[in-house]
Amino acid sequence: MDPAKIWSLNYRLLMSVISSVASDVTALGLETKELFVLTEVEEHPYPAELAATLSMPKPTVTVYVKRLEAAGFVRREIDAADLRRHRLHLTPAGRKVMQRGIALLSEAFGSRLGRLSAAQQAELRTLLEKLS
């Protein structure tokens, strides 16, 4: 067994799914990475937390947050508990575009999963949960 080969196959699968919906995500007014930022805002509302969670450099997250804010998808406000920090909130428009973007990814990945039997899908889920 070659772990690098398994990792490479997984990476190619994920990138293939993302690439297959990239133009549809762009039509929503987002870059794919901005979609991933939106999906994490509620659970990780501080830009530094987002950067750590998404394994992105802080300046990159800052650029994405500024663009998402300009598009009306997030709003930034000073954290009342720590005036030095900004807390991010999804706007209704941000929630709507995030849900649509995730649906696009889910549909694309679902079509790939459809190549597996129900038992194989269950086994894959179990294996991924073990690895996570």
Collapsing DSSP to helix, strand or coil, 89 comes out as strand
Please state the domain count of the chain: 1
Collapsing DSSP to helix, strand or coil, 62 comes out as helix
Alpha helices by DSSP H, listed for 1-132, are 3-27, 32-40, 47-54, 58-70, 92-113, 118-131
Q: What is the pLDDT of residues 94-107, one digit of tens each?
A: 999 999 999 999 99
CATH number, domain with residue 10: 1.10.10.10
Collapsing DSSP to helix, strand or coil, 114 comes out as coil
First to last CA, the chain: 19
What's residue 124's pLDDT?
A: 94
Domain that holds residue 115: 3-131
Q: What is the pLDDT of residues 7-39, one digit of tens each?
A: 999 999 999 999 999 999 999 999 999 999 999
